[in-house]
Amino acid sequence: MTSTSPTPAAAGHGVAVVFEEMHRWYGPVHALDGLSIDIAPGELIALLGPSGCGKTTALRALGGLDVVDQGRILVDGKDMTTVPANKRNMGIVFQAYSLFPNMTARDNVAYGLRLRGVDADARKKKADDMLDLVGLGKQTTRYPHQMSGGQQQRVALARALAIEPKVLLLDEPLSALDAKVRRQLREEIRRIQIMVGITTLFVTHDQEEALAMGDRVGVMSQGRLEQIAAPAELYDKPKTRFVAEFVGLTNRIDGTVEAGRINLLGTSLPLLPGSATSGHATALVRPESIRLAAQTGSGARVAAISFLGSMCRVQAAMPSGEILIAQMAASDFVSLQPGTEVSVSFLPAPVFAIAD
Amino acid sequence: MLVAVLAYLILPLIAMLEFSTRGDVDPVTKAATRSLQSYAAIFSYPNLVDGIIASLEIAALTVVGMLAILVPTMVWTVVRVPRMRRVVEFLCLLPLAIPAIVIVVGIAPIYRFIGQHLGPLGASPLTLTFIDIILVLPYSYRAIDSSLRGIDTATLADAARSLGASWPRTIFEVIVPNIRGGVLSAAVLGIALVLGEFTISSLLSFNTVQVVIYLLGKRDPFVSVAVSLLALVFAFVLLFVISRFAPGADNRAQRAAEEPA
Amino acid sequence: MTQLVTRSASPSATAAGPASSGAGASRFRGAGNYLALIPFHVYVGLFLVLPTLIVTIGSFQDQAGSLTLDNFKAMFTNEQFIGSFMKSLQLALITAILGAIVGGLLAWAVVRGNPNGILRQLVIAACGVLAQFGGVMLAFAFFATFGFNGLITMFLKNNLGMAADGSWLYSLAGLAVVYTYFQIPLMLIVFLPSLDGLRQEWYDASASLGGGAWSFWRNVGGPILAPSFLGALLLLFTNAFSAYATAQAVISQGCALITQQIACQMQSEVILGQENVGKALALGMIVIVSAVMAVYAYIQRRASRWVK
């Protein structure tokens, strides 16, 4: 699967997509609560959130598989809100098992072309090209049940792209796959997406996936968009408590807020906008912002160390019994062992604090 | 269209209710009356009561016998001799390819032999149990099989064995509780099938409930219809109750719960 | 590389010693595993395989037990026997087709409802009863509806003044109506799992690729369901073909259907002195039903090939 880099099917014709104040109710459940997003041409937006947050509803609304009760969907400036799914020209890759089981890989990919009246030779060629693009040039006559989950999702991607859709919609396409295949395929999808230049909406509950793939990542909760930003910004500068807690691993440490800063275990750290403004508060601190150094008499002890390749993750038990998780380059932890007494300090990065 | 189909399916059942609750025509007004006399009359036919008792006894014996033969065999094939799974499946489903009437033809000589050599025991309708176990095999097999497929039987058995359980304990204390949905379905299907069985008991001249209903139908159809309706309702209640415990029911619920609202 | 090979080779070499000494024991234990299946096989052998063998062998024997083909000659020349076979085949085919179509539509309606709804469970339980445990009781249900004193007959007579007497019920046409009554629910039971297996994703994928309902059913849904539908049709066919109880209850006089014909032969065999013709007819039934079931099994395998 290493890049044979075939020629892109259609380069750089991405269109803009706009969600405008979308609302959707399922009975009493408010699945979309005024969702608005502007997606730039060619951009990949990852929608991230826990199950039931409305991300899939948003994707299905864009694909025409679900309706919105209020609001509009604009694609390339045109209002698509009420256009039926089969007239929208959107390529959708579903979670799993969406390939037609009675058709070979080639017939699956050619299906959309057949519906468009493309003649047999042309659609065979196009289907084979698309399968080539996803690295399955030699498996064109296999049936879905003869392929692995990863291969099936590649075919699904080829099928979605074969119709040269305006927008590519990915509905948790990797969630049913093994961790290794998953990582490999997500890089592959991203590479193809950039090469084709297609505007893409990617829905996932896996934050690592969202941060790795998105040009921007939108975090959703209860039908609302909490924050949409580039991955690094989202990670470093969460705007809301939900984002701070949901994205990345966080330690919760008690401190006191004063004049825009928080005092944690004797260290004063700057606060992110939206944090608590005074009094006792809980700071949400990333493991990589915590430094541990061997020091006798400090009261905290190393409880466990896990080796993550180039990184190490250390659990330290505080005198209060709480556990802090710190992460650093493996070389910085050589002196530590379970039981070692350590001192705790923080990098001076701003943190998010919640009022108690 | 759908309404017409449902009407076609429900109408005969309503008719049974209407038919079996007809009372005597009022001598004064000439109007039809409603009464439960047909139901009360059930007890005035000792043959019928005997038939019902016989069928219930056969049903109980059939279920016990079927479970005793099938459960250990099926668990054993899954855990120890998976190669034999296809053979056991084939044998269990074979009765679907051999009509009951054919089994009667072939088994009549055997029953004649039993009747001649085992004396009074051979004349008891309870001997029908032997054939009824065969008749319920396909249905019981499917019910238990779907339960066994729902759990990782081999791993469960390995786990139990590694913790020191003997084979009987492994099967009855570890595996059976995990396939109880399927076992229950198998039992209920068995009961219902035996209560509805006519072909074999009729041709071997045993008076089970169906045979008595059939014979009585010529003399007092009202009572026959009443008993039939009761039997159908009884089978329906049984099936409905197990459909709430049936294997797969919880999976379906879970799958539905995982899907976006 | 070399080191790797030698290292991985050595444990298996040391393991070879104990393994070879234990081979006899494990072979013995393997046999023991099969021994545990003996009760099942003996039982099925005695009460299923033996009767089938008695039928098969008996059909090639005359009264004295010597080999003959006379029973089959009788089967193929006697118009009564041929007629019974034809009536049974016709009845089975017609009621299977009717049941498959109507039951299939009913199943479709059920599958579109709430999968955990109480209505669905009620319908399934009711269909289970009507499809598999009816027999004589269903005949009585129809007597109560369309028989001489049935609800509908009385209604037509008393309220509409029609000359309805319900005698049609006791004919082959009446039998077809009663048979269809258990074929429809059987179809629902058999076909429902296949319909449940149709995934929403397939419909959505087809729609997103530009397909409407017709494209989906023609290219995806239809081909996927076709084997199951055909398989269910065959199952319905054998079900009706093998049925005896309902037929006997509805048409108690005579030997119209093949199952009734076999029963007649069985009951009168001593008088007629052609003891084994019934066995030949029974073997004929086995051949027909087995052939249909073989096709059914083949179709089922194909159907399950696609879906999981």
Q: Which site among C44, C53, C133 would you substitute to test the B interface, given the most B Cβ atoms closer than 10 Å to its Cβ?
A: C133
Among chain C residues, the shortest Cα distance to A65 is held by C204
B3 Cβ under 8 Å from any chain C Cβ: no
Residues of chain A with CATH 2.40.50.100: 249-355
Cβ–Cβ gap C44/B77 under 8 Å: no
Judged against a pLDDT cut of 90, whether residue A191 lies above it is answered with yes
Q: Is A297 exposed, middle or buried (0-12, 13-18, 19+ CB in 10 A)?
A: exposed
- Asked if residue C70 is part of any domain, the answer here is no
Cβ–Cβ gap C209/A101 under 8 Å: no
Query: A28 pLDDT exceeds 90?
Result: no
Neighbours of C234 (CB within 10 A): 21
B214: tokens are 């059939």
Answer whether C206 sits within 8 Å of A111, measured CB to CB.
yes
Residue C245 lies in a domain: yes
Which residues in chain A are classed under CATH 3.40.50.300? Answer: 17-89+164-236
Residues in A closer than 8 angstroms to C219, CB to CB, are: 100, 111, 114
- pLDDT at site A166: 92
Residues 194-233 of C with CB under 8 A from B: none
Which residues in chain C have their CB less than 8 angstroms from residue A65's CB? 204, 207-208
Q: Divide the 261 residues of chain B into consecutive groups of 10 and give the mean pLDDT of each group.
A: 81 87 74 78 87 93 94 89 88 90 89 76 83 93 88 87 86 88 88 90 90 88 88 86 60 37 31
| pLDDT tens profile A215-234 | 999 999 999 999 999 999 99
Q: Count of CB contacts below 8 A, B vs C?
A: 236
Q: What is the pLDDT of residue C43?
A: 94
Q: Is residue C108 part of a domain?
A: yes
The answer, for A66 touching chain C at a CB cutoff of 8 Å, is: no
State whether A63 and C208 contact (CB < 8 Å). Answer: yes
Under 8 Å between Cβ of B134 and B231: no
- Can you give the pLDDT at residue B249? 41
**Closest-CA residue in chain B for A59?**
B260
Give the SS3 label for residue C41.
helix
Kindly state the percentage of chain A with pLDDT values over 70: 96
Q: Rounded to whole angstroms, how far apart are CA atoms C115 and B223?
A: 38
Assign a CATH topology to domain B44-243.
MetI-like fold (1.10.3720)
Using CA coordinates, name the residue in chain A closest to B261. Answer: A26
* Shortest Cα distance, chain C CAs vs residue A231, angstroms: 29
User: What gap in Å lies between CA C256 and CA C260, rounded to an integer?
Assistant: 6
- B198 CB within 8 Å of a chain C CB: yes
**Could you tell me which residues are beta bridge partners of residue A312?**
A307, A328
Contacts of C223 in chain A (CB under 8 A): 102
- Please say whether the dihedral angle defined by the alpha carbons of residues C106, C251, B18 and B194, taken in this order, is positive or negative: negative
Which residues in chain A have Cβ-Cβ distances shorter than 8 Å to B261? 26, 29, 31, 52
Q: Is residue C116 part of a domain?
A: yes
The token pair at C285 is 């039934």
Size of interface A-B (CB pairs under 8 A): 10
- Contact at CB, C248 and B202, closer than 8 angstroms: yes
Q: What is the pLDDT of residues A33-77, one digit of tens each?
A: 999 999 999 999 999 999 889 999 999 999 999 999 999 999 999
Tell me if C194 is assigned to some domain.
Answer: yes
Instruction: Give domain limits for chain B.
Output: 44-243
Option in A63, A100, A115 nearest C210 (CB): A115
Q: Angle at Cα B3 formed by Cα C92 and Cα B234, nearest 5°? A: 70
- The CATH code for residues A17-89+164-236 is 3.40.50.300
Residue A98 at interface with chain C, using a CB cutoff of 8 Å: yes
Q: Do B106 and C126 touch (CB under 8 A)?
A: no
Over residues A236-283, the pLDDT tens digits come to 888 888 998 888 888 888 888 888 889 888 888 998 888 888 888 888
Which residues are registered as beta bridge partners of A294? Answer: A342
Q: Do C207 and A64 touch (CB under 8 A)?
A: yes
Integer Cα distance of A333 and A323 in angstroms: 17
Which amino acid is residue B72, in one-letter code?
P
The pLDDT of residue B261? 31
Please check whether residue B260 touches A, CB under 8 A: yes
Mean pLDDT, 10 residues at a time, chain C of 308 residues:
35 37 46 83 93 91 80 84 92 95 91 79 85 82 83 79 74 88 91 88 92 92 90 92 90 84 78 72 92 89 68
Neighbour tally for B207: CB within 10 Å? 17
Whether residue B123 contacts residue B114, with contact meaning beta carbons closer than 8 Å, is answered with: no
Q: Please give the Cα distance from C203 to C215 (Å, whole number).
A: 10
Asked if pLDDT for residue A235 goes beyond 70, the answer is yes
Specify the fold of A249-355. Answer: OB fold (Dihydrolipoamide Acetyltransferase, E2P) (2.40.50)
Domain contains C3: no
pTM: 0.80
Q: Nearest CB to A98: which of C202, C212, C305?
A: C202
Nearest Cα to Cα of residue C91 among C287, C259, C279, C295? C259
C-chain residues near B214 (CB < 8 A) = 136, 248-249
SS3 call for C38: helix
Q: How confident is the model at residue A12 (pLDDT cuts 50, 70, 90)?
A: low
Query: What is chain A's mean pLDDT, rounded?
Result: 88
Do β-strands A323-329 and A311-317 pair in parallel, antiparallel, or remain unpaired?
Answer: antiparallel
Mutate to test the interface with C, among B21, B94, B101 (most CBs of C within 10 A): B101
φ and ψ of A46, to 5 deg: -100, 125
State how far residue B196 is from chain C, nearest Cα, in angstroms: 5
> Which residues in A lie closer than 8 A to residue C209 (C-beta atoms)?
86, 91, 111-112, 115, 159-160, 163
B contact chains, 3+ CB pairs < 8 A: A, C
Residue C32 belongs to some domain of the structure: no
Domain that holds residue C198: 78-307
Q: What pLDDT sits at residue A1?
A: 38
DSSP state of C276: T
Would you list the DSSP string of A94-162?
-SS--S-TTS-HHHHHHHHHHHTT--HHHHHHHHHHHHHHTT-TT-TT--GGGS-HHHHHHHHHHHHHH
Q: Would an 8 Å CB–CB cutoff place B107 in contact with chain C?
A: yes
Q: Is residue C40 part of a domain?
A: no
CB spacing of C210 vs A112 below 8 angstroms: yes
Which of A98-112, A118-132, A188-202, A264-278 is the least confident region?
Answer: A264-278
State residue B246's pLDDT score.
58
Q: Phi, psi at residue A322, to the nearest 5°? A: -70, 155
What total of structural domains would you count in chain C? Answer: 1
pLDDT digit string (tens) for A13-24?
689 999 999 999
Task: Chain C: give the shortest CA distance to residue A142, in Å.
Answer: 12
Question: Number of Cβ pairs closer than 8 Å across A and C?
Answer: 79
